Each structure stands twice: as C-alpha cells, then as structure tokens.
Structure 1
C-alpha cells in the first residue's frame, strides 16, 4: 500500500459527485427492513428477499461497480494516470493500493447497512456474518471491476452486463452460471458463518471460497500486467 496514492485516490473518489450515488441504495435497504419489521411479518418471510434479493443482488455489486471502476478508470479517461505512471512506483503497488481503497469504501457503504439489517431482523450472528460477506464480496467485485477499467473504455457498461445479465438474469435461469457468480459465493459464505432461515447459499462453501480467491488473485494479477503495458504505451508516446 502506498499512503500517498491511497490518500489521493480516496480524496478523488469521495470528492466526486458520483459518491452521492452510493447513498440511496443503502438507505433503501435499511428503510425496507424497518418497514418490513414494523408491519409485523416474521424476518423469515422478508429476510431473504431484502438481504439476498436487494443487498447482495443490487446494493453490494452496484456500489462496488461505481467505486471499483472509479478509482482508476476516471484517471485513465482524463489522462491523469500518466502522472502516476511517470513515478518510479511498482505497478503492483498502484493496483493494490487502489484495490485496497475501493474495497474499504465499498465494504463501508455496503457492510454497515447490511449489518443494521441483520440487527433489525434480530439476528446478531447474521449481522456480523453479513459484514464479513460484504468485505469478501467488496474485494472480489472491486478486483474484477478494477481489471475491467484497465482493459476497456466502457467499464461501467461491461460491469453492469456482468451484474445484471450474468449474475441476475442467467443466474436465475441457468444454475451452472451460479458457479461463476460472486453474489452466490458471498451468500454461501454468509450462510455458512451464520446458518439461518433468512439466507440460503446455492453454491458449496469450499467452491465459493476457492472461486472467490480465484476471482481476486486472477483479476488483480491481470490488472497489474495490463497496467504495465499501459505504462509502456504512455511513456513511449
């Protein structure tokens, strides 16, 4: 981690207008949980729909998409990335620092509301498990979206295609696609950490742990390699 890059990245990310896009979804998640609890149904009746159907299907991946593509993609778009690449810094240090910032911001904006929803449902163990799941999911999603921001000029569009088409549409139609779904990995891990009627994983826990690790390591390694190629192009131009 490079403290200077981390500070610049966090300031640039939190100082942009896009940061306000991170607020409505978490508030909606908490608000729906409060309403559901207030109207009397048992948490078992609404928990999976709100936590899995909204929290892990929309809130976590969308926040990760906004943050993960923003920590590096905006610098590539406006050309300021050349100032960072001109410094004698290992490309791995740049990627890992930006990934750390993206994971921290995503984990905060997604993990806190999920924790509160767990408490509203009266499941303290689940609340803490949701935080763990949010951090793991944030790391996996952000590593993927950070890679996408390096390899394409339309990272948000490509990221949305993964979240909406692959995880959302195909994930509900073809069960085999769930084995390549970060959302399913997170749900399986949370269900394993705090077994409850509110959330059910559709992928085995060992496979979820292994595949989440594969997503994180492979995406990060390839992003580092692509940034090295990008630096050469920038330096020779």
Structure 2
C-alpha cells in the first residue's frame, strides 16, 4: 500500500476521481434545474464506472509486479522464504484495498457535490450512496483481478487494457449482444438496476433513464427476464474475480523474474 501511495500516481488518480464532483458543482451552478437523480446517474453510473473506475484499476493493477521489477525491489521479495503466488496475493490485496478506498471516498465526494443543498433528504441519498459505493467497490475489485492477470500475460498491459476498456467495456457492453455477458460493467449495471430506481421525474414526464441508456428493452421484456438476476450477476463477478486471481497467482508462481542490474562503469 505504501508503494501505491507514494510518488505522483495517487495524485493523478485523485485528480481523475475528482472530475465527477467538479462537474456536479459546475452543472448545479450553471443549470440548477437539472434533477439531482439525473445528475447522479450521469456521473455516478456512467462516468465513474464506465471510464474512471476501470482506468484507475488498470493504472494500479498493471504495475503490481512490473513496478517491483522496474524499481529493482522484487529481488528483496524473492530472496525471502515466501512463495511467489503468496507475494502476488498480498500485492493484489494491497491494490484492492487502495482502489476500493479511493473509489468509495470519491464516490461519496461526488454524491455530496450532487445532493448537499439540493433539498433531497440525506436519509434518501445516503442509502443510494451506500449501495452505489458498494457496487463500485465490487467492480473495481473485478477490474483489478482482470488487469492483474493481464499484466502477467503481456508486457503491454496498459495498452491492451486501454483497448479493452474502450472496446469491450465501453462499446460492446452498451450493445444488446451476448458478448456483454462477459463484461464487468454489464453485471454491475444489472445489480444497480434491480436494486435502485433510476426514474427521473420532471414537470412534464417521468423517464427511466437507465433503461434507455443501458439498452434494456422494457417494452418487450418489462420484467427483464432475458437478463440475469442481481444474485446471478453478483456471483458472476465474484467467480470471475476469483478465477482471475487464482490463475494470475499460478502464473506468478511459474514465472522466472529477471531484474535489471546496474551497468558496470
């Protein structure tokens, strides 16, 4: 955890995570008629989980082992009587602890920027905050397991990860095709939709903004019987996370690590 929090990386990530709160304040000052729940959806359920959370997970998880090699500190870990898979698991736990703490804290900051002074009772939006922060924590854990595995499969984990975020999680997960069943964000959305209401009420109409944005065809499938239940989505994320962690730990135990040595004068 000390490795994750030193240097400029956490400052850059904190700046990225502050964007939703800054946008919320900007919108509230310039367009005070925007419904708070609509703003919550755009920032808390679109911007954060679709872009910022996977990106932060990628920046942290892709460097779990690579950073140790670049800084030539992995030797001190390998000379100790510790199994390589154990080293990976501990570094994964440190990564998850760091990313979950940052995710929860800045999700709360975004909600405060959206709701404080809006007239919505704290008892109402604090419950939504708790559920969405928990959901974001589940998603960032799944992303960390995936990108941690990816970092052991390729040296270009950052590039491959960015492509994965943009194409798989960003594009294909928004289309009504079967491939979205293997994405993190789709299952996170199904849990959110089945446990929270995203109906926005205006003086002229009521609109389920999540159903439209997430391509959920309520006219033909009003009960969403063609989509997984919340428990199924939770199990899928949990099992996928465990599978990625176990496979990554095994790969780490089989790998021979080569460290850089100072060049002779």
By how many angstroms is 1:210 displaced? 2.0
Larger-Rg structure: 2
Who is 2:196 aligned against?
A: 194
CA RMSD of aligned residues (A): 2.4
Unaligned 5+ runs, structure 1 = 1-9
CA contact 1:56–1:187 (8 Å) conserved in 2: no
Structure 1 residue 93 corresponds to structure 2 residue 64? no
Give distance in 1, aligned partners of 2:195 and 2:111: 13
1-side partners of 2:255 and 2:70: how far apart? 13
Q: Which residue of 2 aligns with 1:57?
A: 50
Question: Contact 1:116–1:127 (CA<8 Å) still a contact in 2?
Answer: no
Q: 1:91 to 1:206 in 2, by over 3 A?
A: same
Q: CA 1:175–1:125 in structure 2 vs 1: closer, same or farther (change >3 Å)?
A: farther
Q: 3-state SS of the aligned residue for 1:70? A: coil
CA deviations 1:9-66 (Å, max 9, x no partner) are x222211322222022211111112223342211243332222221111111111111
**Residue from 219, 236, 239 that aligns with 1:214:** 239
Cα separation, 2, equivalents of 1:226 and 1:209: 26
Do 2:96 and 2:144's aligned partners in 1 also have CA atoms closer than 8 Å?
yes
Aligned length: 225
Worse-superposed segment, 193-202 or 141-150: 193-202
| Aligned partners of 2:85 and 2:249 also within 8 Å | yes
* 2:14 match: 23
* Aligned counterparts of 1:157 and 1:147: Cα–Cα separation in 2: 14
Question: Which of 73, 81, 104 does residue 74 from structure 2 map onto?
Answer: 81
> Does the Cα contact within 8 Å between 2:4 and 2:98 map onto a contact in 1?
no
Structure 2 Cα separation of the partners of residues 187 and 99 of structure 1: 25
- 1:90 deviates by 2.6
TM-score, normalised on structure 1?
0.84
- CA distance in structure 2 between the partners assigned to 1:172 and 1:196 by the alignment: 17
Unaligned stretches of 5+ residues in structure 2: 200-208, 217-226, 260-265
User: In the TM superposition, what are the counterparts of 1:110-129 in structure 2 within 5 Å?
Assistant: 110-119=103-112, 120-121=114-115, 122=120, 123-129=125-131
Distance 1:36 1:222, change over 3 A: same
C-alpha deviation, 1:224, in angstroms: 0.8
Q: Which has the higher helix share?
A: 1
> Which secondary structure state, in structure 2, belongs to the residue aligned with residue 87 of structure 1?
coil
Asked if 1:156 is matched to 2:147, the reply is: no
- 8 Å contact kept, 2:41–2:198: no
The CA distance in 2 between the partners of 1:150 and 1:114, in whole Å, is 30
For the structure 1 residues 174 and 162, does the alpha-carbon distance in structure 2 shift closer, same or farther, using more than 3 Å as the test?
A: farther
